[in-house]
Amino acid sequence: MVMPAVVHIKINFNAASEYGATGSTVIISPDGFIATNNHVIENASAIDVILHDKRNFSAKLIGRDPNTDLALLKIETNKLPVVKFGNSDKVQIGEWVLAVGFPLSLNTTVTAGIVSAKARSIG
């Protein structure tokens, strides 16, 4: 259900160099807003987004917050699939969880785990 809304991003830190970082992230609105981690895009000179269907877009950085490690990107397209938000307050310790990704251009990866703690302070 979520794979069409999981995307791959490539980050360039210097206009004259090749890509310096890559990662997975998710589309959060049909009009092209994408949530990612601040540490992934921090100091980026260019951000490219590769969709599940292999289309490639240049992304614009809309905003970022280093304190929460969140960033918001935008690509110019519409009618995109989105990830449905859940309520993390309802997650219980011991529940199984899945992490769906698109790392290193490996379309459709899934990792399983178990929630071991909640509300940790990672400083």
pLDDT (0 to 100) of residue 22: 84
pLDDT (0 to 100) of residue 16: 63
pLDDT (0 to 100) of residue 27: 97
Give the chain's radius of gyration (CA, Å).
15
Walk along the chain (123 residues) and give the pLDDT tens digit of each residue.
Answer: 888 999 999 999 876 666 678 888 999 999 999 999 999 899 899 999 999 999 999 999 999 999 999 999 999 999 999 998 889 889 999 999 988 888 776 777 899 999 999 888 776
What's the pTM value of the predicted model, to 2 decimals?
A: 0.84
Matching residue, tokens 């999981």: 6
Q: What is the rounded distance in angstroms from the CA atom of residue 89 to the CA atom of residue 78?
A: 31
Q: What stretches of 28-69 adopt beta strand conformation (E)?
A: 33-37, 46-50, 56-58, 60-65
